[in-house]
Structure 1
Amino acid sequence: MLTAFLLFFPVAAALLLHFAKGNAARVMALGAALVEFAAAVFAAFSFQRDASTQFALNMPWVESAGIGFHIGMDGLSLVLVLLTCFLVPLIILASFRHDYRNASAFYALILFMQTGLIGVFVSLDAFLFYFFWEVALIPIYFLAGVWGSDRRVAVTFKFFLYTIIGSLFMLAAFVYLYFQTGLGGAARSSDISAFYALTLSSAEQAWLFWLIFIAFAVKMPLFPFHTWQPDTYTESPAPATMLLSGIMLKMGLYGCLRWLLPVVPRGVSQWDKTVMILAVIGVIYGAIIAIRQRDVKRLIAYSSLSHVGLMIAGIFSLTMMGLQGSVIQMLAHGVNVVGMFFVADIIQRRTGTRQIPELGGLTRHTPLLSVAFLVMLLSTVALPLTAGFVGEFLLLAGVYQYNMWLGAVAGVTIILSAVYLLRMFQRVMLGPDTAFTSAIRDLTGAELAVLVPLIALVFWIGLFPNTFMSISEPAILKILQQVNR
């Protein structure tokens, strides 16, 4: 029942928000998100650290067709549920300085999206997974399309089109797999265990791989399926950008681990080199394009693309270090990118611009902002003792185990990210004085309430990574056993 509470409580809270207005809607949304986080923490303390699925609920949904409402959490699911429930209240709190029109609908959509995200991470039935995969798309479409910048309609439509087409390929693959479970007179089922038990030919797995993977490649995104990402991140309102980058892209990475690798392992072995090459291209491409950016938000978007490419490479290295590195880096990336986009939003609200050449000298009157910005930036650069270092070290080690040369090329991302991020910090915070230098003010209490937990988790993951790795390790071992069966 705990998983069911985590899944449905945000929906109930979102419905109640329609009776609230203005500031009351913000406070109610934040309260609901904090209750959800408390429930996730309780789940973490109650969790038995083994490979079993816990807090499960399995009820008939379309009983005649063998489709069930099957939800539950293993270590992999729990880590991502914790990330979601940790970030959502901070994202809501980060929006308090904005006066969004129709606030009750705005915050209700955030809570609805939280349900869709958690649903993806706890679904143990293929069609239920697909249902929540699509549910998570609807709120972000309206958040970006209604409250975004001037180009929001065209940009959001492109994002929606990319995502929905990719999802239809995945649905086609799930339908095919569903019918395969009924061969030989057996009852058809869309349960994940039935999909894991299928014996498919290499030829079947080869084309099923791409049907499933395209949906995940678009969502992550992987080069060259990424063209929706920079514009959507840039034009969306700050909370939507944080949801997209901090949590939603993890849906694709999680899908690879939960559904792609175990269901079509021979398809993975046939196409892993192709994906690895695309991932490493994405690492370098994202970093090089980031170097050329003049908009702070757009630079962070391309930086995210580069780091996601490394996570994809780690997953397809099919090594324990690569897979564990992807899990810990999902946590680190979520924390880092939300912090970076929040700092970019603060700077834009204070100065009215995100253009790097127009900024400079901000640190003279903003010591707290400068320190917070630098911590999030150094974690993104993978400085030792920060969250970014642990994940990138494991990912690069996994890719190096897979192929020495790919590992060496992927490692260039550390150098390139240091180049564009430190140069951005130097120009924005330490550069020559501008018209904004004397007028800008430092962080408020509400802004500190967002950044302090993020900074605390940056150092917690960096210093005590086993807190989370010990939770996910049994689930990752089980996935590797399924891949190597």
Structure 2
Amino acid sequence: MILIWMIGILLAGGILCWLAAQWFPVLAKWIALLTVIADMALACTFFVVYKTFPHSDNSWFIDYQVNWIPSLGISLHLALDGLSIVLLLLTFFLGILAVLCSWNEIKEKTGFYFFNLLWTLAGISGVFVAMDLFLFYFCWEIMLVPMYFLIIIWGDTNRRYAAYKFFIFTQAGSLFLLLAILALYFIHGQQTNNYTFDYFSLLKTVLEPTTEKWIMLGFLIAFVIKLPMIPFHNWLPDAHSEAPTAGSLILAGLLLKTGAYGILRFVLPMFPEAAASIAWWAMLLGVIGIVYGALLAFAQTDLKRLIAYTSVSHMGFVLVGIFSFNEIAMQGVVMQILTHGISTGALFVMAGMLKERLHTRDITKMGGLWTSMPAMGGVAILFTMASSGLPLLGNFIAEFFILLGTFNINTTLSVIASVGLVLSALYSLRMMQQVFMGQPATTTTVKDISARELIIMVALSISIVALGLYPQPVMDTVQHLSFTIHPLLHE
């Protein structure tokens, strides 16, 4: 029941923000902030109590189910394990920072803005805990529609084009997902005479190899579009570059992670043989994404598009790690999900701060900002080094584990993927050089980080350093992953 309250708090908070803004626009900001802080407190409680929970294979910390539409086999089935807890912590942590990012940036339709922001977070939270496939699809759609409004209403100059492209790509993937869910629903019903969308029941469905592969592809296409995987990445740079700062933070830090989560939770456990049959191709596309995304990032002059293409590169490591079916690599995948959300999210926040001050995203029109913005320059160095995989920072742990786990599985692809680390250093150093070093592009004094912005960047900085120095709590939390992929894993 507490999981329903967790999602309900966000939904109710969003409605309150919309209503309160009609009379007191400032009140909407505080309602949004307190709402996400309340859910963060719940997630922290889950994490602390989970550490003392007696674990066993396939054990679930919370498993709540009540009938919703019993005639169709649809229930409100929500469950929580270590993976879900880690992702909920990331969701609410970045959610708090997204509200703070929007504090002064959003000046029009404030109530509706925070309504969409909180409902996006509610949809994402639902995706991470839904164990009924109809409910999962429902939450999957809930998180997309408010994000569309965030881009098209509060985005930059080409926001309509970016919002339409985002919506078309994601809805096309959602259509494949819906068809695959319905196919699984009817096949299971014909076999057992029990028509249900329950995840644990559908896990037991017996599928012919060809049928299994086609249904698996329906799930996989929806998830890799969101990841995103080459060649389904085309929507990402436009959505990132045109979205408001908080929108970019949530896109990079959370929405991309729902694709990785979907593969871990649904594709591998439900279709193990079909997933194994395409593993080499998936790893190959992941490696292509690592190298291609890094090269495209190096070629960009738009700061937000540059950071967007780094996401394509870094999420390629996630795909490689998942389809290596290796326990060490899987640990790296979870770390990459967390650290990429923090480091890339921080870079997008920084890009938003620079855009607010300089009114441009073109790095060729920047330069020499270190003189007037030393605090932001220091933060930028930290997160560009994190993005490059510097030791002692969280991204290094993640990428090292993925490469270590995949080396014995496919040495060639692992070696090529490691080239991405070199390329990431190149585009990161180029970005630092263009923005903060060299001759100042303007004689106007630029204000350094404010107190509110300092709180955001300090929180992100502490997180990425802590994960780099002491990742063990995360490793322990996801050690007993509940998705049943153990027969596929290589020690």
Q: TM-score range by the shorter chain?
A: over 0.9
Give 5+ residue unaligned stretches, structure 2: none
Is 1:7 equivalent to 2:14 in the alignment?
Answer: no
* Residues 91-130 of structure 1: CA deviation (Å, up to 9, x unaligned): 1101112133110000111101111000000001111111
Residue 68 of structure 1 aligns to a residue in which SS? strand
Quote the residue 1:107 is aligned against.
Answer: 114
Change (3 A) 1:329 1:184: closer
Structure 1 segments (4+ residues) deviating >4 Å: 482-485
| Cα offset, 1:66, TM superposition | 1.8
What pairs up with 1:328-477 in 2 under 5 angstroms?
328-436=335-443, 439-475=445-481
Q: Which amino acid counterpart does residue 7 of structure 2 have in structure 1?
A: L
For the 8 Å contact 1:17–1:25, the answer to whether it is kept is: yes
Change (3 A) 1:5 1:354: same
For the 8 Å contact 1:257–1:479, the answer to whether it is kept is: no
State how far apart, in whole Å, the 2-side matches of 1:308 and 1:465 are.
19
What pairs up with 1:233-272 in 2 under 5 angstroms?
233-272=240-279
Tell me whether 390-399 or 331-340 shows the greater mean CA deviation. Answer: 390-399
Is 1:481 equivalent to 2:489 in the alignment?
Answer: no
Change (3 A) 1:305 1:101: same
| Cα offset, 1:25, TM superposition | 1.1
Change (3 A) 1:412 1:128: same
Quote the residue 1:275 is aligned against.
Answer: 282
Q: Which amino acid counterpart does residue 29 of structure 2 have in structure 1?
A: R
Q: Which amino acid counterpart does residue 25 of structure 1 have in structure 2?
A: A
For the 8 Å contact 2:325–2:489, the answer to whether it is kept is: no
Quote the residue 1:46 is aligned against.
Answer: 49
Instruction: Output the aligned Cα RMSD.
Output: 1.5
Change (3 A) 1:484 1:322: closer
* Residues 325-349 of structure 1: CA deviation (Å, up to 9, x unaligned): 1111100001011100011111111
For the 8 Å contact 1:208–1:267, the answer to whether it is kept is: no
Quote the residue 2:125 is aligned against.
Answer: 118
* Residues 207-240 of structure 1: CA deviation (Å, up to 9, x unaligned): 1221111100111110000111111111111111
Please point out which of 29, 35, 59 is paired with 2:32. Answer: 29
State how far apart, in whole Å, the 1-side matches of 2:284 and 2:150 are.
34
| Cα offset, 1:178, TM superposition | 1.1
Tell me whether 287-296 or 367-376 shows the greater mean CA deviation. Answer: 367-376
State how far apart, in whole Å, the 2-side matches of 1:118 and 1:78 are.
10
State how far apart, in whole Å, the 1-side matches of 2:462 and 2:189 are.
50
For the 8 Å contact 2:18–2:114, the answer to whether it is kept is: no
What pairs up with 1:309-328 in 2 under 5 angstroms?
309-328=316-335
Count of residue correspondences: 483
For the 8 Å contact 1:70–1:123, the answer to whether it is kept is: yes
Residue 478 of structure 2 aligns to a residue in which SS? helix
Q: Which amino acid counterpart does residue 17 of structure 1 have in structure 2?
A: C
| Cα offset, 1:284, TM superposition | 0.6
Is 1:303 equivalent to 2:310 in the alignment?
Answer: yes
TM-score (norm 2): 0.96
Change (3 A) 1:66 1:344: same
Q: Which amino acid counterpart does residue 460 of structure 2 have in structure 1?
A: L
Residue 184 of structure 2 aligns to a residue in which SS? helix
State how far apart, in whole Å, the 2-side matches of 1:75 and 1:56 are.
13
State how far apart, in whole Å, the 1-side matches of 2:207 and 2:106 are.
54
Q: Which amino acid counterpart does residue 295 of structure 1 have in structure 2?
A: D
| Cα offset, 1:398, TM superposition | 2.3
State how far apart, in whole Å, the 2-side matches of 1:434 and 1:145 are.
31
Provide the identity percentage.
Answer: 34
For the 8 Å contact 1:363–1:370, the answer to whether it is kept is: yes
State how far apart, in whole Å, the 1-side matches of 2:347 and 2:18 are.
31
Tell me whether 350-359 or 138-147 shows the greater mean CA deviation. Answer: 350-359
Tell me whether 282-291 or 188-197 shows the greater mean CA deviation. Answer: 188-197
For the 8 Å contact 2:328–2:404, the answer to whether it is kept is: yes
Tell me whether 47-56 or 108-117 shows the greater mean CA deviation. Answer: 47-56
Q: Which amino acid counterpart does residue 160 of structure 2 have in structure 1?
A: V
Residue 129 of structure 1 aligns to a residue in which SS? helix
State how far apart, in whole Å, the 1-side matches of 2:172 and 2:430 are.
38
Residue 182 of structure 1 aligns to a residue in which SS? helix
* Residues 367-394 of structure 1: CA deviation (Å, up to 9, x unaligned): 2111111111111111111111110111
State how far apart, in whole Å, the 1-side matches of 2:218 and 2:275 are.
12
For the 8 Å contact 1:56–1:73, the answer to whether it is kept is: yes
State how far apart, in whole Å, the 1-side matches of 2:387 and 2:284 are.
23
State how far apart, in whole Å, the 2-side matches of 1:290 and 1:362 are.
21
Residue 385 of structure 1 aligns to a residue in which SS? coil
Is 1:226 equivalent to 2:233 in the alignment?
Answer: yes
Tell me whether 427-436 or 458-467 shows the greater mean CA deviation. Answer: 427-436
State how far apart, in whole Å, the 1-side matches of 2:250 and 2:465 are.
22
TM-score (norm 1): 0.97
For the 8 Å contact 2:180–2:219, the answer to whether it is kept is: yes
| Cα offset, 1:199, TM superposition | 2.0
Change (3 A) 1:482 1:63: farther
State how far apart, in whole Å, the 2-side matches of 1:49 and 1:408 are.
39
Q: Which amino acid counterpart does residue 171 of structure 1 have in structure 2?
A: L
For the 8 Å contact 2:212–2:271, the answer to whether it is kept is: yes
| Cα offset, 1:184, TM superposition | 4.1
State how far apart, in whole Å, the 1-side matches of 2:369 and 2:100 are.
24
| Cα offset, 1:4, TM superposition | 1.6
What pairs up with 1:84-99 in 2 under 5 angstroms?
84-99=91-106
What pairs up with 1:123-272 in 2 under 5 angstroms?
123-272=130-279
For the 8 Å contact 2:229–2:286, the answer to whether it is kept is: yes
Q: Which amino acid counterpart does residue 384 of structure 2 have in structure 1?
A: L
Q: Which amino acid counterpart does residue 39 of structure 1 have in structure 2?
A: L
* Residues 417-474 of structure 1: CA deviation (Å, up to 9, x unaligned): 00011111022111112215x5012111000111111001001111111111111110
Change (3 A) 1:101 1:262: same
For the 8 Å contact 2:327–2:489, the answer to whether it is kept is: no
